[in-house]
Amino acid sequence: MTRQQQVVIVGGGVIGLLTAYNLASEVRSVVLLDRSNVGQESSWAGGGIVSPLYPWRYSPAVTALAHWSQDFYPQLGERLFAATGVDPEVHTTGLYWLDLEDEAEALAWAERENRPLRAVDISAAHDAVPVLGDEFSRAIYMADVANVRNPRLVKSLKAALLALPNVTIHEQCEVSGFVREGERVVGVETSKGLIRGEQIVLTAGAWSGDLLKTLELTLPVEPVKGQMILYKCAADFLPSMVLAKGRYAIPRRDGHILIGSTLEHEGFDKTPTDVALESLKASAVELLPALAQAEVVGHWAGLRPGSPEGIPYIGRVPGFEGLWLNCGHYRNGLVLAPASCQLFADVMLGHAPIIDPAPYAPEGRI
């Protein structure tokens, strides 16, 4: 593609925002569309751990994106903070996994992938995290795992884009379908009228599959509901992230503690439920018994873009010239965003890719 093209991006979560940010310096103009306000769906609702919850359980395709992103996140945070004054708070705390059934597999994966994951005595975990519950007997630890404060990341990315003269953001602008001329997709139909572009990029998260149905394409991306709760504690209450039985506690720098999350197949319903609230509170107290005396200050749900094996779709849609995908990141959108969006830009612009793009290509997968 040439530098004189307009790129239209459908979906303003972190994937869409960062895709726009990476392309803006390389094309004539970028138009970003969101059905509500940017970053208010999965990107806002997630926890922001900069690692898959159980990285050794994923395919090499997810691992490759995760490793690149983990190494890149600190400099991305610094770059955005310097440009906008909004700190995404990339906060390196380390992560303890407790009482894992597949601990041996985790340690073998770490040795194979050269990641700093190691077994530690449970007493060392209690020394490092004094508020940890007493019922756990084994721990493994990775020191360099960070979390990003995702609502602030969204705010920072939006501010960075608004400062660029060739980027336009249309919020409250729902896309209902695509405009085709022959084999080429040349625009989108929206609640604000037709918007044309030489390249159209679908980054609509859980809504991506429904939009592609308008082209009679089947994309196996579906909404998967996740609920979380939030406590407010002293800033030094929890020095590290902890994870057991699929539930985790994430400390923010100001003492907020996130507890998550559920996995529910409820379509596009994202109503928080009392059943999930009680389940999450029980997990919170099991992990960190002192939270029994703390007040829940937030409870919400979001919709993850579920996909087979969690491998995102990154690249050109075969048979539809001008249409591209960067979606289907399932539970790891925030983890994989920097690598996914850099890889997408590399492929679209014809640059040498940061990693092999073949496993993510839509061709043969939709």
Domains of the chain in sequence order: 6-46+152-220+309-360 (3.50.50.60), 95-143+222-306 (3.30.9.10)
Chain segment 330-351, per-residue pLDDT in tens: 999 999 999 999 999 999 999 9
pLDDT of amino acid 4: 83
Q: Quote the pLDDT of residue 3.
A: 74
Q: How confident is the model over 300-314, as pLDDT tens digits?
A: 999 999 999 999 999
- In the three-class reduction of DSSP (H, G, I as helix; E, B as strand; rest coil), residue 349 is classed as helix
H/E/C letters for each residue in 40-59? CCHHHHCCCECCCCCHHHCC
**Cα 12–312–40 angle (5° rounding)?**
25
Q: Please report the pLDDT score of residue 20 as a whole number.
A: 98
Summarize the confidence of residues 51-64 as an average pLDDT: 96
pLDDT tens per residue across span 11-41: 999 999 999 999 999 999 999 999 999 999 9
Instruction: Tell how strand 296-306 and strand 184-190 pair up.
Output: unpaired
Specify the residue for token string 């306000």: 37
Q: For residue 2, is pLDDT > 90?
A: no
Res 1: pLDDT: 66
Report the predicted TM-score, pTM, of the whole model to 2 decimal places: 0.96
Taking residues 118-146, report their average pLDDT. Answer: 97
Give the percent of the chain with pLDDT over 70: 99
User: Mean of the pLDDT values across residues 156-185?
Assistant: 97
**Arithmetic mean of pLDDT, 100-112:** 97
Across the chain, which distance is largest between two alpha carbons, in Å?
Answer: 66
